[in-house]
Structure 1
Amino acid sequence: MLIFTTRFSKKKAVLTVIVIGAVIAALVILAGHFQKGGNADLPQLTDNPQRVAYLQSLGWEIETEPLETLQFLLPATLTEPYLSYNQLQKEQGFDLSESCGKQVARYTYAVTNYPGRSTGVQINLYVCEDLPVAGDVCCPGSDGFQDILAYPESDT
């Protein structure tokens, strides 16, 4: 059996505690940074001008005031119709399951530049904790559609 002994002064003990505390603080900060890493490139959408600018950056021309604003609580577990809608969201890099159990706001805007349709097209933008979490472009009616937020590429 080996036994090691060492002298440990109060000064060394205090210095050791400070160094260990600094390492733990750095780990906590880094863990928080990497946990939010998936949202790092998403814009903060705290007000209407930021939401409008975000949609315009995607190529859309919209009426600047929302047609409708709706607040709702996303269920703790996604069931239909959220599961089907989330498949559309995953195509564009969103995932509603990350917002389960949280308050979500839906902002609906009228689109003025949808190719081939001058009226009747809307954009829904879903925001949770000031970040976009989902969205779609839709046209209600018998010849309607629902698609991702990306501006449609021309067929030319």
Structure 2
Amino acid sequence: MFIFTAKVRKGRIVAVAAVAAACGLLWAATGLLGGGGAEAVAVIGPKGIKSNEDRVAYLQSYGWQVAPDPVSVEELIIPEEFDETYQEYLDLQSAQGFDLTDYCGKRVKRYTYEILNYPTGESGIQAGLLLYKNTVIGGDVLSPQLGGFIHGLSMPG
């Protein structure tokens, strides 16, 4: 039998315990997210969206299945100043972490895709992405029919 002794400072013991606790929490969180054999899908970051495949993958990361090609592609200019008619849309974007006021006066593209798996089974529902260069700066899901709806990119629960 061998006995080893070492002089360890209290700060190092606390640091090792903190790292061990963090690892344990990470392991537990991974188990909860992946429970039941289901894979957790992480939302792709808004930067580096260069191609149609990137845009489709971005929407898929929110749980949407979309037609492989956009229904429309439009070039828009974000207004220099927003009036009250834009406030609801700005609030919707802000709630998702997008700030369109950073892009006032900029030329952007809006890519619109048909959603194939809207939870209510409705057809004709569309997902729109606003891109400045290779960065998603806004997005929405909408029903273009008269009296339709609009909401953020997250799948309604």
Distance 1:55 1:111 in 2: 9
The corresponding residue for 1:28 is none
The corresponding residue for 1:24 is none
The corresponding residue for 1:97 is 101
The sequence identity of aligned pairs, in percent, is 39
The corresponding residue for 1:130 is 134
**Is 1:83 matched with 2:99?**
no
Change beyond 3 A, Cα 1:146–1:115: same
The corresponding residue for 2:47 is 43
**Is 1:62 matched with 2:69?**
no
Change beyond 3 A, Cα 1:62–1:102: same
Q: The residue matched to 2:101 in structure 1 has which SS?
A: helix
Q: The residue matched to 1:126 in structure 2 has which SS?
A: strand
Distance 2:80 2:145 in 1: 31
Change beyond 3 A, Cα 1:134–1:122: same
Q: Which runs of 5+ in 2 are unaligned?
A: 1-44
Once the two structures are TM-superposed, the CA of residue 76 in structure 1 deviates from its matched residue by 1.6
Once the two structures are TM-superposed, the CA of residue 83 in structure 1 deviates from its matched residue by 2.7
In the alignment, residue 46 of structure 1 is paired with which amino acid?
Answer: K
Distance 1:88 1:76 in 2: 19
Q: The residue matched to 1:151 in structure 2 has which SS?
A: coil
The corresponding residue for 2:26 is none
Count of residues in Structure 1 that have an aligned counterpart in Structure 2 = 113
Q: Which runs of 5+ in 1 are unaligned?
A: 1-40
The corresponding residue for 1:110 is 114
Q: The residue matched to 2:54 in structure 1 has which SS?
A: helix
Distance 1:83 1:132 in 2: 20
Distance 2:93 2:104 in 1: 14
Once the two structures are TM-superposed, the CA of residue 55 in structure 1 deviates from its matched residue by 0.5
- Which digits, 9 at most, give the CA deviation of each residue in 1:13-52, with x for residues without a partner? xxxxxxxxxxxxxxxxxxxxxxxxxxxx533111111111
